[in-house]
Amino acid sequence: MPVRVTRREADEELVFAPAGAPGAVMRTLTEDDIECGAALPPLRIDVTSVNVLSAAPEGMDDRPAHSEDPGARDDFLNILTTMGLVERYVTDWAGPEALIRSINVRLGVPAYAGDTLIFNGTVAAYEAGEVTVEVRGTVSLGDHATGIVRLHLPR
């Protein structure tokens, strides 16, 4: 079921569909599904003025770069949005019962409106239900976010 969010400034409804196909049942990965060195499927996200500006009020971010003319080169994702997208990327892959234990992400170049953010990841380690995933989010200028996400899978 899509999640509906209303932007306060314009009372505009944004619909965020689940990552899977419509009607798909998400399941949490098991030990049998995890292989060290395996690549996670890539996730492509179009960075638009809407997702840049809709994130700014939620983060109490009133910096001009996040709230001026939509579509301007100065519109870019803030750290809260980037971290949320990293979490989404890993948990969409791992499943709804996966529990994030830690995230260590370093920001690089900005993700400007009009660009495409592409996440890739690799299973770096797996031991006793704990999975370590190396994540990289890139845009046309280079690495936007790189880091490590550790999560727990139920047994």
**pLDDT of 65-121, one tens digit each?**
444 444 445 678 888 889 999 999 999 999 999 999 999 999 999 999 889 999 999
Lowest mean pLDDT among 40-49, 101-110, 119-128, 131-140: 40-49
Assigned token pair, 54: 């809709």
Assigned token pair, 30: 């098991």
Task: Give the max Cα distance, the chain.
Answer: 49
Is residue 77 helix, strand or coil?
coil
Compute the mean pLDDT over every residue in the chain, rounded to the nearest whole number: 78
Strands (E), the chain: 3-7, 12-16, 39-46, 99-107, 116-127, 130-139, 142-152
In the chain, domain spans: 28-152
β-bridge pairing 130-139 and 142-152: antiparallel
Using 50, 70 and 90 to split pLDDT, how confident is the model at 9? very low
What count of Cα atoms within 13 Å lies in the side-chain half-sphere of residue 8?
5
60: left (phi over 0), alpha (psi -120 to 50) or beta: left
Note the pLDDT of residue 90.
96
Is residue 82 helix, strand or coil?
helix
CATH class, 28-152 region? alpha beta
Assigned token pair, 118: 């592409």
In sequence order, which residues have a C-beta less than 8 Å from that of residue 56 and are 6 or more positions away? 62, 63, 66, 67, 78
